Structure 1
């Protein structure tokens, strides 16, 4: 399958979401309804079903986690340090910028690209990464910025539908559980709209954010996110001798644009909201080119 055949269908679905939101054919409430369907029902069904069936013994590889998370945390700290040195508000007020250079849109971009390029068989490696992704980066952001209580963070992660569906699927897998045929079929039906709904929501959400002000920071964060981070993951994955598919999965997750949730965190801690919103828009737009580049390099 060519790169165009992989990217174009995903792009068209996201464009439908953008067009529906931009033309106001879909109101904000309607987009929110699709988002709730995707993130509370369809994606958890997909993750739970796949995690329940994945062959764990042949899939668990600590080197995959190392290849992804060492660069992610390094880029977070590096971006934070540079922002604190250049800026005037210090480390505490620059935490969100560290998040802006390292937080990937794994569900809306990474997962669809990986499935389209390599099939659902590679989802096991994705599941090793996703549960800890938000926990690590949001946790660092909250601790450094001095916002929120650790217990509240833990509670929000435990009850997160993505994390809980993966955890329950993993538990069922370890216990050797299998679903009745009818229940399994129903779960598969709920899982099928997951990727189209996620892409539609991505496109619709982009209409809500704008590129405005602080363009130097916006461009810098986008380049760090789309080029520096995946390049570091590519190098470390090669050094750790990951298989070509394991390296592809980690690089493509790292090469995904800045996730929308980073903006929600910026609003919550009241730091650099405009810069993060701009980086979400710009990195998501440029990701069409950058993800195509990484797919070409990994092929």
Structure 2
């Protein structure tokens, strides 16, 4: 399968969401409704079923975790230090949020559809093993560094949001039933299968629609720097770590690199709003990294496949 045939359907769905929202019939309230269906029903059903069917013996491998998360944590630290060096600002929250902008990947909206298109659903177990801890780790780290500027109520809301996150719950439930070898009733399984079918298309449509709500602000230089670190330096570090340090097989390494090469996730903007730091920079980074990822992801696909 050519790189174009993999990436074109993703660009098509995201572009459709963008133009139908920016120029067409959809408004923010309607997109919000589609987002609720996508992230609270369809994607959780998709994740649950794939984790339920996953070959767990091949999914949870320590070397894969280390090959992905060691570079992610390193880039988080680099981004945090870089912001302080570039601006001379000692605000812990701002530095941490910038580190998040350099290291947090849009694994659900971009990474997942791309990996399914390029490698097939048989590698989904590897994907879920990584993304289960992705948000919890990076968001917790950001909040810990920003703790002095975050109220106790904000921290409680964050912890509650992580625990009851539909992505985490669906993957955890699928994992538990898989481990216990519980058989799902046939009609219920078929119902979940139907519910899961529009997940990836809806996710890409919502991604494009959300881009129409964000603008590139005056701090575009900081945003562009974060986007390039996110799209180029992070996946390069994951590739080098996985290939040379852990000698991971080509398919499994492709999963890790493509996840890390995904653009900055929109949830990073929500974290920036919660800690009240760099909201405009993060929003700009979301836009720039998503647009530039069309080029960088194509290059990574050509290198890996």
Question: Which region of structure 1 is more displaced relative to structure 2, 176-185 or 189-198?
Answer: 176-185
For residues 160 and 59 of structure 2, the distance between their equivalents in structure 1, rounded to whole angstroms, comes to: 28
Q: Does 1:102 align with 2:103?
A: yes
> Can you give the 5+ residue segments of structure 1 that lack an aligned partner in the other structure?
none
The CA deviation at 1:59 is 2.4
**2:58–2:126 Cα contact (<8 Å) kept:** no
Name the residue aligned to 1:84: 84
For residues 289 and 162 of structure 2, the distance between their equivalents in structure 1, rounded to whole angstroms, comes to: 26
Name the residue aligned to 2:278: 272
TM-score for both structures, normalised by structure 2: 0.96
Name the residue aligned to 1:138: 139
For residues 267 and 60 of structure 1, the distance between their equivalents in structure 2, rounded to whole angstroms, comes to: 33
Query: Number of paired residues?
Result: 299
**2:102–2:229 Cα contact (<8 Å) kept:** yes
Name the residue aligned to 2:21: 21
Distance 1:243 1:148, change over 3 A: farther
For residues 297 and 58 of structure 2, the distance between their equivalents in structure 1, rounded to whole angstroms, comes to: 27
> Can you give the 5+ residue segments of structure 2 that lack an aligned partner in the other structure?
none
Measured against aligned partners, the alpha-carbon deviations of 1:107-159 in whole angstroms (never above 9, x if no partner) come to 00000000000111111111011111111111111111122545543322110
**What is the 5 A alignment of 1:4-153?**
4-90=4-90, 92=92, 93-146=94-147, 147-149=150-152, 151-153=156-158
Alignment partner of 2:103: what SS? coil
The CA deviation at 1:86 is 2.4
For residues 279 and 229 of structure 2, the distance between their equivalents in structure 1, rounded to whole angstroms, comes to: 18
Name the residue aligned to 2:226: 221
**2:264–2:286 Cα contact (<8 Å) kept:** yes
The CA deviation at 1:284 is 0.2
Name the residue aligned to 1:297: 303
For residues 7 and 82 of structure 1, the distance between their equivalents in structure 2, rounded to whole angstroms, comes to: 32
Q: Give structure 1 regions of 4+ aligned residues with deviation exceeding 6 angstroms.
A: none
Question: Which region of structure 1 is more displaced relative to structure 2, 34-43 or 146-155?
Answer: 146-155
The CA deviation at 1:57 is 1.5
For residues 171 and 250 of structure 1, the distance between their equivalents in structure 2, rounded to whole angstroms, comes to: 24
**2:44–2:171 Cα contact (<8 Å) kept:** yes
For residues 183 and 210 of structure 2, the distance between their equivalents in structure 1, rounded to whole angstroms, comes to: 37
**2:238–2:257 Cα contact (<8 Å) kept:** yes
The CA deviation at 1:24 is 4.1
**1:226–1:257 Cα contact (<8 Å) kept:** yes
